[in-house]
Chains A and B, each alone.
Chain A
């Protein structure tokens, strides 16, 4: 099992939720103090550097118009890490390609990062959560179609080496596509895609990409992984080799654990109590979720069936439905991992066993008000006391 460290780079110093309508999209940035924020950026980068030294791989993401994630440009943070880190794989999870107007620019950014890091990039593509729609002014209808067209264009741009080609698609138009530099990894960096509904898993499986699931708990994750395994096994032989995406010559018909990734809030302490105290601070991320309904569910983002359920009082699709639960309840569901090193190991092992084998564990090892010292302790304990034992689990490399 590979293990990845992730922080959303939060700016946690917010007024009381009663004083604002929505923490995302509309919260005025007068609340942001550049003196505090610049220190936070540098602190979070220090912690990512530490993670590299401790043996973690590193995941980054981006969100817009929100204090919950100061990383508004995932390629910028990756560019710093590409140069400054020594060994970690560098994962963008992801690039919101249904919301980025210029996919070719993204192909260039990723190719540069892959070269500067000498082939350490793992490139994730995401559709983006509903609250990204308004900041991007992006049409919420037919987003998956737009995302896949951007994906197809980027892949073709990365793998075409004999000069310009033309692209006149529904959403993107370029008459002279000829990306420099080509990627360091051949044919291109490994690709990851996240999913929040099982309906979108099939296309990920058919291409053999890494499927990433966030904070679902093991029961739902098992469902996602099973859909993936089923669709993966059904891939036609020719398509399988063509869709490899990761440079492997022959794709097995059984999806290996390295095709699966799961993100959980994680805090390791010397004792269970210290780990729990730490994870409760990271849980700020789940609890800081006051979002106006109109930004949480733009028309066309969710299926009609989901909307009917919401109108029936089943609640709108929320960013973090787990926001009201206790740390203990979340541990029980496999949404967070916390406690002393042995407890955390056992929780991760249980998750892997319950989901049929997990090859990539992404820990949100920093979040909310978890301090620098606490983050250093968390990452160090994880790397020294938990990670060595993960080798006993499937999918270890």
Chain B
């Protein structure tokens, strides 16, 4: 039951973020829907429902940002991402462990592992954000052909990696 409540709490945090950005009816309705679907998923320990709820929260966050156009707030964004990292494995583990014998030490070790990965993700996201802030002036003054060439290089690297992954299968 504790894991269910923790999952519900994290889903509520995800649904609350878009409302705090822009508390207008469409965003509130979408956040409410995300809360209902994600909350049902957390209480019934159904990972696909929680994934749907989280996706709806992301969509609500995007709509709120697109409509309101506020100043960039990386802290909220990193917190939102870290919550996503925590909620999905928590519900997935609780779903797997339903009715099973799970020693408290195992649960504690799992929570420690999720927190470590969420902190790692949040730290790297913060570092990338800071790095992007430094790169912005450089990229802003870059010429369009350079940007297109870099984008093309990135795309070809991605396609090459995909082909290799498929061949390895």
Indicate whether A and B interact.
no
B residues with a Cβ closer than 8 A to A are none
A residues with a Cβ closer than 8 A to B are none
